[in-house]
Structures are given as structure tokens and as C-alpha cells.
Structure 1
Amino acid sequence: MSPPQLPPLNDRYQYDLARVTVLRWFGVRADFPHDARYRSRMSPVNLRHAVRAIILDQDDRILLCRFDIPKPEGTSVVWAAPGGGVETGETLLTALRRELLEEVGLTLDADPPHVWHQEVIDPGHAAGYDGVINDYFLIRTASFNPRGALSDAELAAENITRLEWWRLQDITDYHGTDLFSPRDLASPLATLISSNLPDRPVPLGL
């Protein structure tokens, strides 16, 4: 197995990312630095910060958005949790509430637990950015027909073509060309469904 590709080590933040990448490659548990004050001081990397909702119904199905992403080689289909970018001045939960109303029509009565944290340094992962930060929150609810405030045309402008409920087993058994975000969604999702809430957000890979 080849060692992982590392980003240019031109600042402390990138050094820490590289260190964690190497440790994980050798099977050592390590968390990516994700304190916002640290990142604002130390990192010139332009990351898109987003919030996403792991919405599980009474049958432990997860609600996912289908993104049809145009690329030079053709359209790439990615299934990802509802959510979107954190706007200037918003807290994570304020952004989450706004995105859920816009995309799926769900109103939150309480503050959901923060269960996953993802940082990806990859210029091809989000147009106009060097990578992404996704913070995931767990929401349990009865099954519903997702219909948010955004029109179909507005959703399509964000590359969202539909929303579907997925069973964990269907994700595990899927062998088609569509991708999931994170790529190994089935693994952390299975742990989340079968275990107690994590004490701190679980770090995810690509």
C-alpha cells in the first residue's frame, strides 16, 4: 500500500493535517484540528464550512439528497445528507435550521447532538475552495415527505435533483456508480444507529 499524499507543508495547520493523515494511515487514532479560532489564526486554506443533518426515521432510514454534479468527464452523482454552507454571522445550529427549512421543510424543536466532523483538503471537492468542513448533527423524527421552501428549480441550481430515504443495508449493498458522502457512509452510520451518542464528534474521512 502506498503512503498517503500530503498537502504542501507551508504552515502549521497543514503540518497538523499531514501529521494526522500519516498517523491514520498507520492505524493510529488521531483527530483533525478543527477549532475555529485556531483555523482563523493559522490557516490560509480556503475551506467551505457546512452543516449537515443525519435525519433518521422510526425505521432507522436516513434521508439523503441526490446531487448531480457536472464535471468535464460527465455528471457525477453523490448522495449526501441535507444541509449547506454556514453564512457569515451564523452559528452552526442557526445555519442548520435554515438549511433544513429550505431543503426538506423540517423544523427543529430542540438542539440536535453534534455527532460527526469532516475535513477534506481537496481542491476538486468543492468548486472555488481548497476543501470542505462538514459538521453533522443527528435528528430523529417520524418519516415524512421532504418538501422545503426552495422550488425544484432552486434546488437544481444547487445540483439537488431529489431526496430519498435509504436503509442502511441498501447503502451497504450498493455497488453502482453513484457515490456517498462520506464515501464510507455505511460504517459510521451503522455505529451511530447501534451505539450510544459519541462523547465528541467522530472525525470522518473523504
Structure 2
Amino acid sequence: MSRVVTLSAPLPDRRPRNRRRAMRVLLVDEQDRLLLFRDSDPGLTPVPIFWITPGGGVDPGESDLSAAIREVAEETGLAIDRDDLVGPLAERVVVHGYSDVVTTQDELFWFVRCDAFEVSTAGHTEVELATMTAHHWWTRAELEQTDEEIWPRDLLRIWDHVGHGDTLQLGDVDESTVAPG
């Protein structure tokens, strides 16, 4: 995550806009539970809460696979390698309106089967430490029944695509806490 935390939200048409390529990873343990992080936008009152998969932006010169591996290590403490990644499962272009920036992401989703582990946030950035306030291993039943905001909203559809061998095309999606304007 590269956004800057602010205390007040600029008008939608005055927020900076950026575009980046991002990798998201579905980490599923041996009990068929999926790891998600509780994220927030502290620039708004009340502070919106949403749950996200581990992942983030691809650095200049970095491959998609390398970015997925790095993001998992930074956000969870889990070391994986290329052979652990299944996919890409899905791809989409998503717009996220935050209180301080509108980000358009070209996203790929990957799958990793892993043993349950104790999540480490030692690799989190200052912004992640401020905004990502919890993590939880979710069962499918919990995801189906929750009223919590889950990003991507079609997470179960992506999870169900494991093993299909092709990449699910999800198109253009708007998942905003603040309308892009």
C-alpha cells in the first residue's frame, strides 16, 4: 500500500489519482480457512472498515510472481516460492476511492495452500500499521454469512475458480469507501 493517511478528505475531484499493477493472494490453510486483513480509511468519520487479501503493488522492474511472493512475506511473514503460487486465478481493474487518493489497480489474484501460521506484521509499512488493524482466518461459512465489507466483493467466486486452469476475467470494478467523483 502506498497511500498516505490524512485526517480530512479532499473533495472527490481534488484527490490525486494514481494507477498501479497489484498482486493479491488468497492464502488458504489446511482447515480451508482464508486469511484476510481488516483495513480502514482513517481519513473518514466514521472510519470505514473492510477486509482484504494480502497483496499490493508491483515495484518497477519486478515480475508479477516476485511481487506476489514479496507482498506475502511483508504482510504475513510467510515465506513462499513460485511453485506455491497457483494462478493467476482472476484479473480485474478496480477503482478504490480513499479519503486522500483514488487508486486504479490492474490486479491479478493468486492462490496458495499453506499450513496455518502465526501472522507477523513486522514487514508492514507505517501506513499498513496504522490502517490494517487485525487479521482473521475466515471459513467459507463465515464469509457467506458476514455483513462485513469484503474486498474483492466476489472473493468466493475467485476462490471457487482454483483448479480451473484459466484466468477468470472480472472486468472493471468499483470498490470504494469514497466515491471517486
Identify the TM-score tier after normalising by the shorter chain.
0.7 to 0.9
| Aligned residue number for residue 58 of structure 2 | 86
Residues 92 and 173 (structure 1), Cα distance of their counterparts in 2 relative to 1, 3 Å cut: same
What secondary structure sits across from 1:75 in the alignment?
coil
Equivalent AA in structure 2 for residue 96 of structure 1 = A
Equivalent AA in structure 2 for residue 108 of structure 1 = I
| Aligned residue number for residue 38 of structure 1 | none
Q: Is there any run of 5+ residues in structure 1 with no aligned partner, and where?
A: 1-44
Give me the TM-score of the superposition, normalised by structure 2: 0.74
- 1:58 deviates by 0.7
Task: Determine the C-alpha separation between the residues in 1 that align with 2:65 and 2:107.
Answer: 13
Q: Which structure has the bigger radius of gyration?
A: 1
| Aligned residue number for residue 202 of structure 1 | 168
- 1:171 deviates by 0.7
Larger RCO: 1 or 2 (CA < 8 Å, sep 6+): 2
| Aligned residue number for residue 146 of structure 1 | 119
Question: Over aligned residue pairs, what C-alpha RMSD do you find?
Answer: 2.5
Residues 151 and 138 (structure 1), Cα distance of their counterparts in 2 relative to 1, 3 Å cut: closer
- 1:109 deviates by 3.2
Give me the TM-score of the superposition, normalised by structure 1: 0.65
Aligned residue pairs total 154
| Higher mean displacement: 65-74 or 122-131 | 122-131
Is the 8 Å Cα contact of residues 101 and 148 (structure 1) preserved in structure 2? Answer: no
| Aligned residue number for residue 91 of structure 2 | 117
Residues 69 and 126 (structure 1), Cα distance of their counterparts in 2 relative to 1, 3 Å cut: closer
| Aligned residue number for residue 128 of structure 2 | 155
| Aligned residue number for residue 42 of structure 1 | none
CA deviation string 1:159-195 (max 9, x = no partner): 21122100010010112xx311111323332x23xxx
**Divergent runs of 4+, >4 A:** 151-154
- Percent identical among aligned pairs is 28
Residues 49 and 152 (structure 1), Cα distance of their counterparts in 2 relative to 1, 3 Å cut: closer
Is the 8 Å Cα contact of residues 57 and 141 (structure 1) preserved in structure 2? Answer: yes
